[in-house]
Homo-oligomer: A and B are copies of this chain.
Amino acid sequence: MSVSEFDLIRDFFVRATGARADVLLGIGDDCALLRAPPGLALAVSVDTLVAGRHFLVDADPLDLGHKALAVNLSDLAAMGAQPAWATLALTLPQVDKNWLRAFVDGFAALAVIHDVQLVGGDTTRGPLSITIQVHGFVDPLLALRRSGARAGDRLLVSGTVGDAGLALQLMQQQLRGGSVDGRLSRRLDRPTPRVALGRLLVGQASAAIDVSDGLIADLGHLCAASGVGARVELARLPLSPAFREHCPPRQWRPALAGGDDYELLFSLAADRIEALRDRCRGAGESVQEIGRLVDVPGITLIYPDGRESTEIPDGFDHFRG
């Protein structure tokens, strides 16, 4: 096949997403030229998904295109930033037009929802891997950092946790031919970045992080950055009906350390919680209080029977045995 790199990029990516007025020059030159809005900070994040590590080699390319962008938009959501631009570095073992078309469709469908324009890319031959960088805008004084939480703040999380982690665990236990409840696998394959909720938390939350490594691992990052500890009431964890149906009793690991939730975990001064609940209800965003932050370092889990423990299941860690 003699499709050139340049034809490939042009055909599949140039018209993949809409045209924003702040993109002065898009794909096709040595650089894109972009106009950042005055007064706002540019929020930037980059994430790589590697075949065999973050997804199966034969994963549906439509899902992959969605997920690769979603995990990056989730980082913007966690800062309270409004998404704007993305670049895509795609490494492919060969040119497969059907695969590429589906990948771009999955990417573009999510990009359009969030008014994100693809402004640059690089396509190379090699083991399948996807690196996306996203850019968004946020008031630098109000951006949601990990470091602003204070003892006494309430701890909240959006949506439900554990669905993706449970889906992965069930897939790994599954015999060939078995299938996992689609309500769970969809949460693993097509996560929803909580962009609107992130915007709503700007000026409200004292700290925020997105849950990618697992609820407790990411709570650990927030606590470390803020210099606080946390008490988490397991009975208050928001668990989906599908999760309750399929998770073995007393198995907390998928909900606490499964990862891939892409929910927002955030802290809030106690006197702001009612107003926030109202705003979330009005905006159709689901949030749940799951505990509070304390002076004492470390994370304490409070089990439904009242037992307390500081033993935490490990989060996802790329380089840990």
A residues near B (Cβ < 8 Å) are: 1-6, 8, 24-25, 28-36, 38, 41-54, 75-76, 78-79, 81, 85, 87-89, 91, 95, 119-127, 129, 131, 133, 135-136, 138, 140, 143, 145-147, 208-210, 221, 225, 317-321
Contact = CB atoms under 8 A, between A and B. Distances in A.
A221 B30 CA distance: 10
Nearest to A221: B6
Contacts of A34: 41-44
A33 B79 contact: yes
Nearest to A125: B318
A281 to B, nearest CB: 25
Contact of A31 (B1, B75, B120, B318): B75
A32 B29 CA distance: 26
B47 A125 contact: no
A200 to B, nearest CB: 16
Contact of A319 (B3, B143, B221): B3
A217 to B, nearest CB: 9
Given A30-B209, A36-B42, A46-B131, 6 more contacts: A1-B319, A3-B319, A31-B81, A36-B36, A48-B124, A129-B129
A205 to B, nearest CB: 13
Nearest first, the 10 A-B pairs at minimum CB distance are: A50-B126, A30-B78, A36-B36, A31-B43, A127-B127, A33-B41, A131-B131, A30-B75, A34-B42, A89-B131
A5 B299 CA distance: 21
A20 B178 CA distance: 54
B48 A319 contact: no
A81 B29 CA distance: 13
Contacts of A35: 41-42, 140
Contacts of A119: 44
Contacts of A75: 30-31
24 contacts: A3-B319, A5-B317, A5-B319, A24-B41, A24-B140, A29-B225, A30-B75, A30-B76, A30-B209, A31-B44, A31-B79, A33-B42, A33-B79, A33-B140, A42-B42, A44-B85, A45-B120, A46-B122, A48-B91, A50-B91, A54-B124, A89-B89, A125-B318, A127-B127
Contacts of A50: 91, 124-127
Contacts of A208: 30
A2 B42 contact: no
Nearest to A52: B126
A317 B120 contact: no
A35 B40 CA distance: 7
Given A124-B318, A127-B129, A319-B3, A146 B30 contact: yes
A85 B41 CA distance: 14
B33 A318 contact: no
Given A145-B25, A209-B30, A319-B1, A46 B120 contact: yes
B45 A30 contact: yes
A207 to B, nearest CB: 10
